[in-house]
Amino acid sequence: MQDAEITKVFQILKKEYARFKTPYVTVVSEDTSEQLRPYHVLISCILSLRTKDNVTAAATKGILAIGDTPERVAALSTEVIERAIYPAGFYRTKAVTIKNISRELVRDYNSVVSDTIEGLLKFKGVGRKTANLVVTLGYGLPGICVDTHVHRITNHWGYVSTKNPDKTEIVLRQKLPKRYWIPINDYLVAYGQNLCKPVSPHCSECKLYKYCERIGVKKHR
């Protein structure tokens, strides 16, 4: 896929994205004040890991209703947080993570969430996917959030040839035009959930068909 083709691909993705549901973490970033946005995006990202989007939405609303700042969440018991975020996947582990991060933010960082990947990765339970989303959605700074959908689909295209999301991020930072860094996650999460599914993607309905080499696609509809 050449540069001219990737431009066309993103033009198509933008149009297609308009008909899909916006990922809830993005909704949080759009509906939250500038001051609280990084923390709210961080919490929602943690809750979204291995959890369906509608459950992420309910869990995020649940915790932010009783604690919308690091100070308030740090003051909650783990049991209260668990009840607020249930039934998010691994909700007990996530409750501990959320409380510990909130407590560290208050104690060590004056309740300010870092705006760098390196700063965010210092917190236990924060990986590169979450760190990139906080940087991009929380602060509007350049970053590439690579989750399973971005990793899978860009490999299907043949745009990258990588074994895991971290490697995909490295390659995309080298070759993807910077104007597409922030939207790629929203576009491909929505596309991956609705059309380019992990098992038997809907290739017959895909408007990107002629640009995609379908590498690794064994069965499709």
- State the alpha helices, DSSP H only, in 67-109: 70-74, 78-85, 91-108
Q: Is 183 a domain residue?
A: yes
Average pLDDT on 102-114 reads 98
Q: Is residue 3 pLDDT above 90, yes or no?
A: no
CB–CB of 188/148 below 8 Å? no
Q: Domain containing 134: what range?
A: 32-139
Query: Does 75 lie in the same domain as 131?
Result: yes
Q: Where residue 96 sits, what CATH number does that domain have? A: 1.10.340.30
How far apart CA 167 and CA 91 sit, in angstroms, is 28
The number of folded domains in the chain is 2
Is 87 in the same domain as 53?
Answer: yes
Same-domain pairing of 68 and 153 = no
- Specify whether 121 is located in the same domain as 172: no
Give yes or no for a contact between 97 and 46, defined as CB atoms under 8 angstroms apart.
yes
Q: Contact 213/158 with Cβ under 8 angstroms?
A: yes
27-81 pLDDT tens trace: 999 999 999 999 999 999 999 999 999 999 999 999 999 999 999 999 999 999 9
The enclosing domain of 153 has a CATH number of 1.10.1670.10
For position 62, what pLDDT does the model report?
A: 98
Sorting pLDDT into bands at 50, 70 and 90, what band is 4?
A: confident
Establish if 203 belongs to a structural domain.
yes
Out of 139, 160, 183, a domain closes at 139
Judge if 50 and 130 occupy the same domain. yes
* Residue 23: Cβ-neighbour burial (10 angstroms; 0-12, 13-18, 19+): buried
Same-domain check for residues 49 and 99: yes
Q: Are residues 132 and 199 in the same domain?
A: no
Percent of the chain with pLDDT over 70: 100
Where a domain ends, among 104, 123, 139?
A: 139
d(CA 170, CA 62): 35
pLDDT tens digits for 141-199? 999 999 999 999 999 999 999 999 999 999 999 999 999 999 999 999 999 999 999 99
